[in-house]
Structures are given as structure tokens and as C-alpha cells.
């Protein structure tokens, strides 16, 4: 059991297998030392070959519009992970630049027996992997540590909706929802630890937008993730059924951690079971954490244009095209959206909460994106604006959940057709009357109206 990993979690790419070089684990999605199948696999192979193992992180100074807020969260968390790795005798090599090129250089320097890396369906990550597998002399393995059921096994095609995907996930849980081995100290250490940068010089190389500051209400890293999980289990999970009310603080706040892989969704489900937590609220939470979350990876894996209108289903594209010429009651510039300066106080409040805290409640995310569709000239611009704002301000941006959530809101992905109406066609519509039926909109607007003094930092929660 000590180092067991189900081989079906691993996808090998061919290469020669010299067996005297070290093992490198290139971490670019699952930034954690605990409960990480990629790291477990790398260490398992290093043990078998009796060689050292190292983790590699390569900082990309500019990445898909990420700002200082997200980089700071990632780097502070990673410093903590470096300490945990050190206890296990595993160095963290820090590099900066184009990761596929830095990885090639590292492979030339260290002649590894094996490179293990994280699975990620985003286009840029598929491209990194392609370059690495073409250039590396050794075997490269991809491990899915983000999903409980490896995305390539869960389904071979893009799923129509959660209803079609759910049974596939549940069918595989018996095999994949297994406990993690502890990360024991690795016995084969480096004679000379590999050279790299330190965190300070890494930060100095960032070329990012510093107008979006870090958040202070959430502590980055693996320990912050565990503390957030504990608070959620103890104080909020029982009321999770009320999650559509953004005035109530019942959601987990785990998405920034899950996005950066600072906590494992599988470990969360195992912890729920270990504590004997069950009931409707728990089932609802697991549905979001497992089925919906893994469905997003399925969407991006099987839809290379996941951030384009061409990634919508034919029925959605055709209904949106049929309503392309409909008059729009309001049209806003990118700047007006960014500053939360629309005619709608609820939308402005939601945007303001996102800007200030890096988070927007799930229900409002849907409303927010649908209104962007209503107030832009066409769905392509709506998609661009929503992705840009989400990725600029949200701590959990650039995530498959984000691309799927925005495509759901604007392009009916994973949804069905509804009653036809202007602009939206048969894409599901949302309005303020619906929001008022669910929660006290005035109270939310009072809390989050832009321009109010010192809402940030927020004492207990956004
Ligand atoms: C327009 C739009 C944009 C979104 N952008 C993002 C994004 O950038 N990053 C992101 O992680 N999520 C995104 N979501 C999905 C969802 O809104 C967030 O995951 C959730 O609000 C995060 O808060 P939480 O962790 O407190 O959620 P909780 O309700 O506590 O859920 C626990 C976890 O389940 C997963 N989850 C919850 N809801 C969904 C969902 N609808 N789809 C997929 N997984 C889900 C998340 O990993 C979340 O952390 C978006 C949804 C929409 C409609």
C-alpha cells in the first residue's frame, strides 16, 4: 500500500527508459505536497529505481492575464509546499521562463529516467506537454491528480450535461476513491541539489498587472486550505442548501485552493466519509465538488475551443445567431463593465465584490455572465468580456470550471433550451425578479455598492 498508485491514473508518452537518472515531477496544476498522485507516482518510481526525485516549478512571468493577486496566492502557497517537500527530502527546483523550454534544459542537465507531470486540458498546457514529449529523451508520464476519476477514463467524449456524466463518475468511484499514502521521507537524496532560483528572485521576475492586489481574507497554501475546509465542515456545510443566497455565507470558499491544487478534492470526499458526515447538504456539496467540477474538465478536454462561440453546441449557436440583430436595451464598454458602472445595482455589486475580494458567489456568477450577454453587441464579445473579468479578478480564474461556467451562462453548454426570448433565443434567461425570489437583493446591494468606503478587507467573509 505504501506507494501504490493505480496505473490507470497514469498516461505514459513513449521515450527511452534509462534507469540511473533521477525522477523529475513537473508541477504546474496541482501545487501541493500532500495527497498528490503525481508526486506519489514520481516518488514510487524513484524508489523502485533507487534514485533521487525533485519537484520542478517553472514560473511563467505572464500567464493568461493573471495579475499580482493570483501570482501572490500561488507563490505564497508554494513556499509552504517547498517546506513540506524538504521534510520529505525532495528539493523544489524553481525556474523562470517558457516552461517547455526550461523543462528541456533540465532534462539535458539531469538526464532523468522519468518526468512525471500534471494532467491539464487547457490548450496552453496541452501544447507544453506536446513540446516536452517531443523533446525529452526519457518517458514522460501525465497523472490526473485534479480529478478523482481520471478525465480520459471518465468519458471518451464531451458529455451533454451533468445528467449524462453523473452515472459515469459514480460508476468509477469504487475504483478511484481510494486513500492516499503518506509522503514518507525519500531515502535517495541528491548529492548536489539541483540549482534554481529562490522565491525572492522569482517574484522579481514577474511581469504582471499589480493594480489588482492580493487578498487578505484567505490564507494561501495547503495549511490555509485545510483551515478553510475545517471552518466549512464545522460552521457552514449544514446550511449548504442555502447557497443560492449570496447574503449567507455557506459556501466552502475552497475554489481558489482547488484551482491551484493546494487541496485535493478526493481528500475532501475521503475526509467527509471519515467523519461520517452525510445528508442532503453533503450530497449537494459532493455533487458540485465531484460531478460538476469533473464535468468542467470533460468539457475542456473534448472542446479545444472551450473559450470560443464555436465551442457551443449547434442548437445554441443557431439560436444566438437568429437573435443577433435584436435590439440591445443597454450596451456597455469594457471599462464600464470593469468598473461596475451599469444601470443595474445588483450586477455592479457582484462585480465590485469580485474586484475587491477575488470571489463572486456562484448564483451571482450566472446572473453576472448572462447580463454581459444581454448588454454586449454579440455573444463573441460577451464571452471575451466575461472571461477577461473573471480571469483578471477571480482567485480561481483560468480554471476549466470558469470556462464551463461562462459557456453555460452565455452558450447553454450543459443546459437545455428554454422559452424563446429576445437576444437570448432559447438560452436560459435570468433577471432580477428571479434573484429577488431567492434572496434579499437590497441587502446585497447595500453591502456591495461600488464606492463604499473600506469594504476591503472584509472582517469575516466577502
Ligand atoms: C460564470 C461563471 C464563472 C465561473 N468561474 C469559475 C472559476 O473561474 N473558477 C471556478 O473554480 N469556478 C467557477 N465557477 C463555478 C462556481 O461558481 C465556483 O466554483 C464556486 O462559486 C466557487 O465557490 P466555492 O468554492 O465557495 O463553492 P462551493 O459551492 O463550496 O463548491 C465547492 C467546489 O465545487 C466546485 N464547484 C462548485 N460549483 C461548481 C460549478 N458550477 N461548476 C464546476 N465546479 C463547481 C468548485 O471546485 C468549488 O470550489 C463559475 C461559474 C459561473 C456560472
Return the residue whose CA atom lies nearest to atom 2 of ligand 1.
405
pLDDT in tens, 335-382: 999 999 999 999 999 999 999 999 999 999 999 999 999 999 999 999
Dist. CA 329 → ligand 1 center (Å): 29
The overall average pLDDT reported for the chain is 94
Q: What is the pTM of this model?
A: 0.96
Q: Does domain 304-448 have CATH number 3.30.70.1450?
A: no
Return the residue whose CA atom lies nearest to atom 24 of ligand 1.
253
The pLDDT value recorded for residue 462 is 40
pLDDT in tens, 182-226: 999 999 999 887 888 899 999 999 988 889 999 999 999 999 999
C-alpha 248/C-alpha 413 separation (Å) is 28
List the domain boundaries for the chain: 304-448
Phi/psi region, residue 454 (left: phi>0; alpha: psi -120 to 50; beta: rest), is: left
pLDDT in tens, 288-322: 999 999 999 999 999 999 999 999 999 999 999 99
Residue 323 confidence (pLDDT) above 50: yes
Residue 456 confidence (pLDDT) above 60: no
Which atom of ligand 1 is nearest to 259's Cα? Answer: 11
Dist. CA 1 → ligand 1 center (Å): 33
Return the residue whose CA atom lies nearest to atom 40 of ligand 1.
292
In DSSP terms, 114 is beta-bridged to: 23, 139
The pLDDT value recorded for residue 15 is 77
Dist. CA 199 → ligand 1 center (Å): 30
Residue 461 confidence (pLDDT) above 50: no
Confidence of residue 3 (pLDDT cuts 50, 70, 90): low
Ligand 1 environment, Cβ below 6 A: 243, 251-255, 258-259, 288-289, 292-293, 296, 362, 365-366, 369, 390, 394, 396-397, 399, 401-402, 405-406, 408-409
pLDDT in tens, 429-453: 999 999 999 999 999 999 998 765 4
The pLDDT value recorded for residue 455 is 40
Taken in order 38, 42, 47, 52, is the CA torsion positive or negative?
Answer: negative
pLDDT in tens, 369-398: 999 999 999 999 999 999 999 999 999 999
Amino acid at each position: 500500500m505504501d506507494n501504490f498508485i493505480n496505473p490507470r491514473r497514469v498516461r505514459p508518452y513513449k521515450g527511452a527508459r534509462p534507469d540511473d537518472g533521477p525522477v523529475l515531477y513537473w508541477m504546474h496544476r496541482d501545487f501541493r505536497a500532500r495527497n498528490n498522485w503525481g508526486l506519489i507516482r514520481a516518488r514510487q518510481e524513484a524508489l523502485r529505481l533507487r534514485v533521487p526525485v525533485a519537484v520542478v516549478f517553472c514560473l511563467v512571468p505572464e500567464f493568461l492575464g493573471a495579475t499580482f493577486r493570483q501570482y501572490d496566492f500561488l507563490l505564497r502557497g508554494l513556499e509552504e509546499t517547498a517546506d513540506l517537500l524538504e521534510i520529505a527530502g525532495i528539493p523544489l527546483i524553481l525556474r523562470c521562463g517558457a516552461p517547455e523550454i526550461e523543462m528541456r534544459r533540465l532534462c539535458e542537465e539531469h538526464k532523468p529516467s522519468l518526468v512525471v507531470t500534471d494532467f491539464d486540458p487547457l490548450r496552453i498546457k496541452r501544447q507544453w506537454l506536446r513540446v516536452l514529449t517531443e523533446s525529452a529523451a526519457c518517458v514522460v508520464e501525465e497523472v490526473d491528480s485534479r480529478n478523482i476519476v481520471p478525465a480520459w477514463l471518465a468519458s471518451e467524449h464531451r458529455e451533454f450535461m451533468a445528467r449524462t456524466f453523473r452515472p459515469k463518475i459514480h460508476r468509477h468511484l469504487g475504483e478511484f476513491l481510494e486513500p492516499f499514502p503518506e509522503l514518507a521521507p525519500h531515502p535517495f537524496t541528491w548529492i548536489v541539489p539541483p540549482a534554481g532560483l529562490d522565491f525572492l528572485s522569482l517574484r522579481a521576475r514577474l511581469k504582471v498587472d499589480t493594480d489588482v492586489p492580493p487578498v487578505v481574507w484567505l490564507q494561501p497554501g495547503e495549511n490555509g486550505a485545510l483551515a478553510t475546509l475545517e471552518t466549512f465542515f464545522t460552521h457552514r456545510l449544514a446550511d449548504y442548501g442555502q447557497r443560492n443566497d449570496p447574503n449567507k455565507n455557506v459556501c466552502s470558499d475552497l475554489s481558489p485552493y482547488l484551482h491551484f491544487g493546494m487541496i485535493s478534492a478526493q481528500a475532501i470526499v475521503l475526509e467527509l466519509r471519515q467523519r461520517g458526515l452525510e445528508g442532503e447538504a453533503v450530497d449537494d456539496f459532493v455533487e458540485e465538488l465531484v460531478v460538476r467540477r469533473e464535468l468542467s474538465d470533460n468539457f475542456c478536454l473534448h472542446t479545444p475551443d472551450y473559450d470560443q462561440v464555436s465551442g457551443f453546441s449547434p442548437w445554441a449557436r443557431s439560436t444566438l445567431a437568429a437573435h443577433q440583430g435584436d435590439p440591445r436595451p443597454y450596451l456597455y464598454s469594457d471599462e464600464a463593465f470593469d468598473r461596475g458602472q451599469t444601470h443595474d445595482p445588483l450586477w455592479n455589486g457582484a462585480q465590485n465584490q469580485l474586484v475587491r475580494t477575488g470571489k463572486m458567489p456562484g448564483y451571482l456568477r450566472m446572473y453576472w455572465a448572462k447580463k454581459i450577454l444581454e448588454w454586449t453587441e454579440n455573444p463573441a464579445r460577451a464571452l471575451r468580456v466575461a472571461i477577461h473579468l473573471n480571469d483578471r479578478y477571480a482567485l480561481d480564474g483560468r480554471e476549466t470550471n470558469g470556462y464551463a461556467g461562462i459557456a453555460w451562462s452565455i452558450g447553454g453548454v450543459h443546459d437545455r433550451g428554454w422559452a424563446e426570448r429576445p437576444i437570448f433565443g432559447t438560452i436560459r434567461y435570468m433577471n432580477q425578479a428571479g434573484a429577488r425570489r431567492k434572496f434579499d437583493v437590497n441587502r446585497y446591494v447595500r453591502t456591495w455598492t461600488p464606492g463604499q468606503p473600506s469594504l476591503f478587507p472584509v472582517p469575516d467573509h466577502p
